Structure 1
Amino acid sequence: MILSRTFRDKWRPPLFLVVAAVLGIMLLVPLAGISFFRVYENQLVETTEAELIAQSAAIAAATAQRLKELGGTDLPLGEAVASAPAKSYRGGLVVQYLTGGWTPVLTRLDLTKTPILPGRPDPLPATEAVPPVYEETGGHLDQILLETQKLTLAGFRLLDFNGTVIAGRDELGQSLAHVEEVQQALTGRYASALRERVVGNPQPIYSISRGTSVRVFIAMPIIVDNKVAGVVYASRTPSNILKELFLKREAVFWLVLFVLGATFIVGLIFVRAISGPIRALTRRSLQIGAGDRDALKPLVIHGNREIHALSESMLDMSRKLFERNDYINTFANHVTHELKSPLTAIQGAAELMKDGGSELSDADRARFLDNILRDTDRASLLLNRLRELARADSVEIAGSCQLASVVAGLRSRFEGVQIACPKEAKLPISAENARIVFENLIDNSVRHGADHVTISATTDRQHLQVRVQDNGEGISAGNADQIFDLFFTTRRDSGGTGMGLGIVQALLKAHGASISLLPTDGDGACFELELPMRN
């Protein structure tokens, strides 16, 4: 598309580029949702820790009860658990020592803040023998732990107060006392940790997720008579949202397809309703600017109401500009023709006087001078009327006046004419503009033999109608359609310019008013002025 230099002075993004950017942002919104998976993964880690806490608490309570039943008062126990004040942790009160009573243990792991430790250390040989009562308890609970693991997919180890494994899938008789979280639990404090997890056969999507490479470990102390009797050591890999998405990749595919389809439809709507009509309107305006009158037709597709209104207003303005241009061309031709006649006559008379020289008689010289003066007066009159017409086209629309005061001025201006005004009215134009209108109409009447003019006014809610009727010669049917054309006159020989009614029509049009010739039953002419009422 060829644009003017003004358009090319500064780069501005075209509308299709703006639409493309919006569509690109729409496509990025679903992709940006992947970053929020981190938040959900952290929630999965917290959920996993909370589930392990609940499961381990139940196993710890069952183990403590079994130990009491088997060991009685001679049950060997570990370190005593000292009472400690409650400590604020993550918005709640957490009692670090399980000393009985209501002592809630809240989750502590945070995937974004908790450091990830290396994988769990291998067990070491036990340095202390496992008491028989603990071996019996471990044998009793071993199958229970195995069945629990099958349902929860969590790994459980039951340790004695020295950190030796007494129940679990493997590692029986070996020590885990050197593991950091177990060390804390052997002192009576709940502990948890995130440790690296080695994935043997990772799925492709695992590279995106951080949650698939860690495992949650917790160590829950077993308390009997306010002393440590052992530790429930549990672990589990948290669930992973990305893995679920990979497993449900068919549904994800259809979702992505839906997003792409919706984006395409939105883009199509943009192009159809906004971008396309605006580009067509731009091309149409350039064609009109080049003078192509065939471009003055509605767009094929408007797209929306606003662009339709813009298109119609532009076409209406363009039509008016073309009409104005035609008016100016016609006007210039008429002015040229009207001025050419007196100027040609003046030139001819001057040349005759020059050529005649001293041989020209005084009577001929006086006649030629009279012709020159008469044609000069006609040219001056024509120029004055042109100036009045220009003023009428650009008149200031303001003010109002009383019809009676205008009529009083007209009576002093046309002393030999009887001007009647039976009804008073308020005119929605200034007194000066009203004077120009009525003076031209009455002057036209007087030049056609009228000596009596009646000005009457009627009103309704929206308009004021003023009729100007005279008793002159009237206007023939053949001339009725031409009287408002500029430079049309039937009195050219007597000095008529044919611009009086044109001035009246231009002035009234500037006020949103109109003038028309009404048919009459007898002699004379009758003009009706219709002016819009203003608040």
Structure 2
Amino acid sequence: MRLTSKWIGRKWRPRLATVVVAILILVMALPLVGLFFFRLYENQLIRQTEAELIAQGAAIAAIYAQDVRDAGIAAEKLGAPMPGPSGDSSRNVNPDPLYRPIEPQLDLASDHVLPTRPAAMPGTADPAFAAIGARLSGILDATQKTTLAGFRLLDPRGVVIAGRDEVGQSLGEVEEVRAALAGRYASALRLRIPDQPAPPLYSVSRGTRVRVFVALPVAVDGQVAGVVYVSRTPNNIIKHLYGERGKVTLAAIAILGGTLLIGLVFLRTVSRPIYALIDRTERIAAGDRAAIRPLDHHGTREMAELSAAFLDMAEKLQARSDSIQTFATHVSHELKSPLTAIQGAAELLRDSGAAMDNTERRRFSNNIVTDAGRLNLLVRRLLDLARAENLAPSGESTSIGAALALLPVDNRLAVRVEAGGDLALRMSAENAAIVLANLIDNSARHGATLVSIAAASPGGKAIILVSDDGAGISPSNRARIFEPFFTTRRSTGGTGMGLGIVLALLKAHDGMIALVDSERGTRFEIILPVA
């Protein structure tokens, strides 16, 4: 079973490539899906069309009203009185009589779309109003050529006096015209009669099937003098898209190409390095040391940092594994020798019985005791090494003098502090005493009679030199002195663990130790943080 499946469980999770493809499809579809969510824009087009028709109708109404005044038409020929601020059209009429703004009212989402406009009925226009209509027909025709709006100018009874084919016919029964003849502004959405079949794409838009109708009352001396009836088909996005279908196709191709490009970039910069790192992980887990090397392609800085961190961790784990394996080999070898000796002596004592004299029996018994003592010493030193390697700094501080005060008096070896005895070191007194005790014991075992210690603190670090006058260390052994179990005094009880414990303790306190050249004896240089 793969290691990944062990930790992630059986729960289904999509692959990175699946997620990327799904996101890219969604991104690619957004422009197309957006076509079905443009009702708000369509409604804005309806409102815009109504506002334009109000502006055009207001201009025609002003001209029409002025012509009525100039013609001196009697008041009894005018229509219904205009409602005041408190009338039905109060929402459209400002209390200030100088300003009567009309706001667009149509809403494509909520307003009911009426049937197509009813046909005009027979009617007769008043000659005075008919004359005015005849004079304004040219203005209406010229305006229609520019605005594309349909204009109908009605007299106070709703008879068309200007407006192409329906002149002389009545529109008074049309709902919005009837409201305008009563002095109220009215607008309506009605089904349009297209001049030609609409493209199939138009079926998705409601705004392409309607026409906006606006009826504005013309006020003269507080009475309705007529109605300006204007209509036009609103602009719509579908018509624009259909007209620009070539450009829309190019845009779709560009979107598709951009999506594929994004997918390719994502695959190269994210997906492929991740899969390569997963492959490296599986190879390293299988013991392939050649897999611990940088990826051929990282893609992004974050992926390069992740890969570097992972490979660094793999190298450290491999080094730790090698160290543990080597350490285990050394431990088994060191423990095997005394165990074999103990077993052999015990078997001789058991098998020889009464045939062995007291001298031989004592000699074998002493061998057992000696080897058991060595085993006991090895176990204690291994425990000391394990504690040193897993030690967490306590944050305490001490000095060389305080650490030396904890050591037992040794008549065989003199210790002299030449400088820096009171320098504060970032290390507890007990751990500093262990470091010095191992170094002093090592010097004593190599024939030294004096150990000199000198300390200084240049640059915020304490540099401690520990020198002795012993036999020194041979050049062939200098590179191995910090290896666990390496010793040249095995016959006299040496375990080869002392310097390993010193190194582990110093590393745990952000320090280090190194063997430096000396004219006589041995000299170690210790570097520790200053408290």
Which TM-score tier does this pair reach, normalised by the shorter chain? Answer: over 0.9
- Alpha-carbon RMSD: 2.4
How many Å separate the matches in 1 of 2:299 and 2:516? Answer: 46
Instruction: Tell me the TM-score normalized by structure 2.
Output: 0.92
- 1:78 equivalent to 2:79? Answer yes
Task: Show the 5 A alignment for 1:181-220.
Answer: 181-199=176-194, 200-220=196-216
How many Å separate the matches in 1 of 2:403 and 2:153? Answer: 116
Q: Is the 8 A contact 2:412 2:444 kept in 1?
A: no
Partner of 1:493: 491
How many Å separate the matches in 2 of 1:88 and 1:77? Answer: 19
The one-letter code matched in structure 1 to 2:417 is C
How many Å separate the matches in 2 of 1:74 and 1:290? Answer: 106
How many Å separate the matches in 2 of 1:122 and 1:272? Answer: 68
Q: Is the 8 A contact 1:407 1:421 kept in 2?
A: no
Question: Which deviates further from its counterpart, 112-121 or 265-274?
Answer: 265-274
Deviations 1:198-252 (A, max 9, x none): 3231023211222111111111222333222222211111111221122122222
How many Å separate the matches in 1 of 2:268 and 2:160? Answer: 73
Any idea what SS the aligned residue of 1:461 has?
Answer: helix
**Which of 378, 381, 392 is equivalent to 2:377?**
381
Any idea what SS the aligned residue of 1:195 has?
Answer: strand
- 1:356 equivalent to 2:388? Answer no
Any idea what SS the aligned residue of 1:303 has?
Answer: coil
Q: Report the Cα offset of residue 170 of structure 1.
A: 0.8
The one-letter code matched in structure 2 to 1:44 is L
Task: Show the 5 A alignment for 1:420-431.
Answer: 420-422=416-418, 423-424=420-421, 425-431=423-429
Partner of 2:224: 228
How many Å separate the matches in 2 of 1:13 and 1:74? Answer: 82
Partner of 1:107: 104
Q: Report the Cα offset of residue 75 of structure 1.
A: 7.1
Which consecutive unaligned segments of at least 5 residues does structure 2 have? Answer: none
Q: Is the 8 A contact 1:465 1:528 kept in 2?
A: yes
How many Å separate the matches in 2 of 1:256 and 1:437? Answer: 76
Task: Show the 5 A alignment for 1:271-350.
Answer: 271-350=267-346
Q: Is the 8 A contact 1:71 1:133 kept in 2?
A: no
Instruction: Tell me the TM-score normalized by structure 1.
Output: 0.92
Q: Report the Cα offset of residue 525 of structure 1.
A: 0.9
Deviations 1:458-486 (A, max 9, x none): 22224321111111121122222222222
Structure 1 pair 83/371, CA: closer, same or farther in 2 (3 Å)? closer
- 1:526 equivalent to 2:515? Answer no
How many Å separate the matches in 1 of 2:392 and 2:156? Answer: 106
Q: Report the Cα offset of residue 24 of structure 1.
A: 3.5
Q: Is the 8 A contact 2:406 2:430 kept in 1?
A: no
Q: Report the Cα offset of residue 86 of structure 1.
A: 7.5
Partner of 1:464: 462
Task: Show the 5 A alignment for 1:164-175.
Answer: 164-175=159-170
How many Å separate the matches in 2 of 1:82 and 1:389? Answer: 105
How many Å separate the matches in 2 of 1:82 and 1:508? Answer: 100
Structure 1 pair 260/87, CA: closer, same or farther in 2 (3 Å)? farther
How many Å separate the matches in 2 of 1:498 and 1:5? Answer: 42
Question: Which deviates further from its counterpart, 35-44 or 342-351?
Answer: 35-44
Any idea what SS the aligned residue of 2:294 has?
Answer: coil
Partner of 1:439: 437
Partner of 1:448: 446
Q: Report the Cα offset of residue 159 of structure 1.
A: 1.8
Q: Is the 8 A contact 1:44 1:238 kept in 2?
A: yes
The one-letter code matched in structure 1 to 2:102 is V
- 1:54 equivalent to 2:55? Answer yes
How many Å separate the matches in 2 of 1:64 and 1:408? Answer: 118
Q: Is the 8 A contact 1:514 1:529 kept in 2?
A: yes
How many Å separate the matches in 2 of 1:86 and 1:454? Answer: 114
How many Å separate the matches in 2 of 1:87 and 1:163? Answer: 20
The one-letter code matched in structure 2 to 1:406 is A
Q: Is the 8 A contact 1:85 1:95 kept in 2?
A: no
Partner of 1:136: 131
Deviations 1:245-302 (A, max 9, x none): 2212222233333333333333333222222222222221222122211111011122
The one-letter code matched in structure 2 to 1:142 is S
Deviations 1:150-172 (A, max 9, x none): 22211112222222222211123
Identity of aligned residues (%): 50
Structure 1 pair 223/465, CA: closer, same or farther in 2 (3 Å)? same
Q: Report the Cα offset of residue 72 of structure 1.
A: 4.1
Q: Is the 8 A contact 2:89 2:184 kept in 1?
A: no
How many Å separate the matches in 1 of 2:303 and 2:509? Answer: 30
Q: Is the 8 A contact 1:86 1:95 kept in 2?
A: no
Partner of 1:42: 43
Q: Report the Cα offset of residue 87 of structure 1.
A: 7.8
